Amino acid sequence: MAASIRVLWDHSQLWGLLACRGLAAVGADFSPVTCREVAEGALSRDAPRLLVVPGGFARLKHEALGHDGARAVRDYVSGGGGYFGICGGAGLALSHADGLRLCSWTRRTFADRLEHLVSGHVRLRLDPDSALCPPSAPEDLSVPVWWPAGFAPPLGGVDPDVMVAATYVGPGPDLMLADVALGAMDAARLAACRERFGLRLPPAFLDGGACVLSGRFGQGRYVLSHAHLETPDSPGANAWFGHILGLLTREDRLGRAVPAWDPETEPARFDDPHLAAARRALARAVGSGLDARLLFRRNAWLLGWRPGMPGFSLSSLAGMLAGAAALPPNGAAREYWRQAGPEFAARLEGFVDRLLTFFPAQRLEITLSLVNGSKCPATDLAAERQELFGSPPGGGGLCGELAALLDGLLLRLFS
């Protein structure tokens, strides 16, 4: 029997892992499905009750679906299916060039790039009349967002079929703007920064912008959330995650908590030498970035980073490695890794060796340029960063190729 929830797998990486981890924690019946399988009719052959689309880049997901896959998702929802999009998965459902046009709203245009660099907990005001919101939830709820985009209503005016279930009220205590601990700053000091120096730090969308939408598309329905309700150890968000899943799948026995996640302390159930060696090597590279003060620890599973540094790419790679090691292997995963594991381990060693030089060089370049204006040729570090991580905001280059190999392993481990 097909799972009642399918998780659209492609181009989610760490967010796909966290979505599956959250689904498992609340006791949901789920399995991943690839964009290629969707294009080949997977949603029509054994229609699930719900399609969950995790975070990641909407453009890449749309490209992977292609024309046939996009039409298949639209047909599935129109025919009565459910769609739960989280962050990038929410953006995929909107009406724009890289969207599925399930929802008439579109992406908000940011006036300032800095507004997109928001992460941590925010405070939301929930609509008390929305069935989407748990009756027990406080009206002012704290939930995590991780570098969200934004929602904007259609140019023709508000669509009455789209309901705003939650709006932003303001920052939570751990909210960061790039590498600035905005949520921890005293409000009076922030006001002084604005008045004396003209610095306007708080993002405009935190004052009343939409965070969670819901609506109908044909006979089906969608829920689109820029809040990552599946984030480990965020009780209010996790309770809402379970509530939404129960509502969309008509399953009232789902749990309401996603436990804390410390990748370093989880026991290895896939005891593989290539995975173990890769985790040790990557830890050395991360340590080099920490020593250079270009990276810092946000929590057990997520790095923070100085603007321009590849902190999330490394967090994603490390999290995927730990997630794969913590899952019990099956035959398909063992066979795949028998072929891919040696290549992965060899390429990762080379990747780490380059990072052990890249981070000190980057630190020296920053310091020397500030002290006496001298720097190594900008093209050299830029070219190295491009080869290792691709174009900003990252996810490509050698790191992206390594993540793609891990992605194939996790897909089989969750299947």
Q: What are the pLDDT digits (tens) for 292-309?
A: 999 999 999 999 999 889
- Mean pLDDT is highest, among 104-113, 133-142, 237-246, for 237-246
User: Is residue 221 scored above 70 in pLDDT?
Assistant: yes
The answer to whether 177 and 304 have CB atoms below 8 angstroms apart is no
Tell me which of 48-52, 367-371, 392-396, 406-410 is least confident.
392-396
- Identify which of 109-113, 137-141, 204-208 has the greatest average pLDDT: 137-141
Mean pLDDT of 201-205: 64
Backbone torsions φ then ψ of 321, nearest 5 degrees: -60, -50
The yes-or-no verdict on residue 378 having pLDDT over 60 is no
Residue 119 CA to residue 55 CA, distance in Å, equals: 14
- Please write the tens of the pLDDT for every residue from 119-137: 999 999 999 889 898 888 8
Non-local CB neighbours of 256 within 8 Å, separated by 6+ positions = 26, 238, 239, 241, 242, 243
Is residue 76 helix, strand or coil? helix
Structure tokens at 301: 């599973």
Indicate the average pLDDT of the chain.
Answer: 91
| Percent helix, percent strand, percent coil in the chain, to nearest 5 | 45, 15, 35
- Residue 252 has a pLDDT of 82
Nearest to 107 by CA among 122, 90, 121: 90
- Give the pTM: 0.94
Q: How far is 177 from 394, CA to CA, in rounded Å? A: 18
Q: Which ranges of 294-372 would DSSP assign to H, the alpha helix? A: 311-326, 331-371
What is the Cα–Cα distance from 307 to 29, expressed in whole angstroms? 39
Chain position carrying tokens 């996603």: 258
> Per-residue confidence at 377, pLDDT binned at 50, 70, 90?
low
Q: Which residues contact 118 (CB under 8 A, 6 or more apart)?
A: 145, 147, 148, 175, 176, 177, 203, 206
When pLDDT is cut at 50, 70 and 90, the band that residue 380 belongs to is confident
- pLDDT higher at 180 or 127: 127
Does the structure show a pLDDT above 90 at 379? Answer: no
For range 331-350, the mean pLDDT:
96
**Residue 70, pLDDT score:** 98
